[in-house]
Amino acid sequence: MKYELLKTEGRAKRGRFHTVHGVIETPVFMNVGTVAAIKGAVSTDDLREIKCQVELSNTYHLHVRTGDKLIKELGGLHKFMNWDRPILTDSGGFQVFSLAGIRKIKEEGVTFNSHIDGRKIFMGPEESMQIQSNLGSTIAMAFDECPPALAERKYVEDSVARTTRWLYRCKEEMARLNSLENTINKEQLLFGINQGAVFNDIRIEHAKIISELDLPGYAVGGLAVGESHEQMYDVLDHVVPYLPQNKPTYLMGVGTPANILEAVDRGVDFFDCVYPSRNGRHGHVYTNHGKLNLFNQKFEKDMRPIEEGCGCPTCRSYSRAYVRHLLKAKEMLGMRLCVLHNLYFYNTMMEEIRDALDAGEFAAYKKRKLDSMAQGEN
Ligand SMILES: [Zn+2]
The secondary structure of the chain, three-state, reads: CCEEEEEEECCEEEEEEEECCEEEEECEEEEECCCCCECCCECHHHHHHCCCCCEEECHHHHHHCCCHHHHHHCCCHHHHHCCCCCEEECCCHHHHHHCCCCCEECCCCEEEECCCCCCEEEECHHHHHHHHHHHCCCEEECCCCCCCCCCCHHHHHHHHHHHHHHHHHHHHHHHHHHCCCCCCCCCCEEEEEECCCCCHHHHHHHHHHHHCCCCCEEEECCCCCCCCHHHHHHHHHHHHHHCCCCCCEEECCCCCHHHHHHHHHCCCCEEECCHHHHHHHCCEEEEECEEEECCCHHHCCCCCCCCCCCCCHHHHHCCHHHHHHHHHCCCHHHHHHHHHHHHHHHHHHHHHHHHHHHCCCHHHHHHHHHHHHHCCCC
310 CA to centre of ligand 1 in angstroms: 5
* Single residue among 273, 308, 335 that ends a domain in this structure: 273
Confirm whether 377 is domain-assigned: no
Give me ligand 1 centre to Cα 47, in Å. 14
184 has a pLDDT exceeding 90: yes
Please check whether residues 6 and 96 belong to one and the same domain: yes
Distance from the alpha carbon of residue 357 to the mean position of ligand 1, in angstroms: 24
The count of domains in the chain is: 2
The CB density around residue 51, as the number of other CB atoms within 10 Å, is: 17
Question: Would you state the pLDDT for residue 101?
Answer: 64
256 in the same domain as 325: no
Positions annotated as catalytic residues are 90, 272
- State whether 260 and 292 are in the same domain: no
Residue 317 C-alpha to ligand 1 middle, in angstroms?
Answer: 9
Tell me, yes or no, whether 80 and 165 share the same domain: yes
Question: Residue 6 pLDDT > 90, yes or no?
Answer: yes
Whether 192 and 104 map to the same domain: the answer is yes
Q: Which domain holds residue 340?
A: 280-369
Tell whether 264 and 310 lie within a shared domain. Answer: no
Q: Could you tell me the distance, in angstroms and rounded to a whole number, from the CA of residue 342 to the centre of ligand 1?
A: 7
State the pLDDT at residue 39: 84
Q: Which of 238, 273, 308 is the last residue of a domain?
A: 273
How far separated are the first and last CA of the chain, in Å rounded?
A: 46
Question: Would 376 be classed as within a structural domain?
Answer: no
pLDDT for 116 equals: 82
At residue 306, the pLDDT reads 98
In this structure, the answer to whether residues 353 and 204 fall within a common structural domain is: no
pLDDT of residue 94: 80
CA 345 to ligand 1 center in whole angstroms: 7
Task: Please report the pLDDT score of residue 100 as a whole number.
Answer: 60
Residues 101-143: pLDDT tens digits? 667 889 999 988 888 888 888 999 999 999 999 999 999 999 9
pLDDT > 80? residue 241? yes
Residues 244 and 297 in one domain: no
Least confident of 113-127, 244-258, 271-285: 113-127
213 and 108 fall within a common domain: yes
Q: What is the pTM (predicted TM-score) of this model?
A: 0.96
Q: What is the pLDDT of residue 102?
A: 61
Task: Point out which residues pair with 23 in neighbouring strands.
Answer: 18
| Residue at a domain's end among 224, 247, 273 | 273
Percent of the chain whose pLDDT exceeds 70: 98
The model's confidence at residue 328, banded by pLDDT at 50, 70 and 90, is very high
Asked whether residue 374 is assigned to any structural domain, the reply reads no
We report the CATH number of the domain holding residue 112 as 3.20.20.105
In the prediction, which pLDDT does 124 show?
A: 95
* Spacing, Cα 66 to ligand 1 middle (Å): 33
Residues 323 and 186 in one domain: no
The CA-atom distances, in angstroms, between 231 and each of 18, 72, 74, 256 are 32, 41, 44, 15
Please name the residues in contact with 232: beta carbons below 8 A apart, sequence gap of 6 or more. Answer: 223, 224, 254, 255, 259
Average pLDDT over residues 79-108: 86
Among the ranges given (51-55, 113-117, 178-182, 199-203), the one the predictor scored with the smallest mean pLDDT: 113-117
Residue 378 confidence (pLDDT) above 70: no
Q: What is the mean pLDDT of the chain?
A: 94
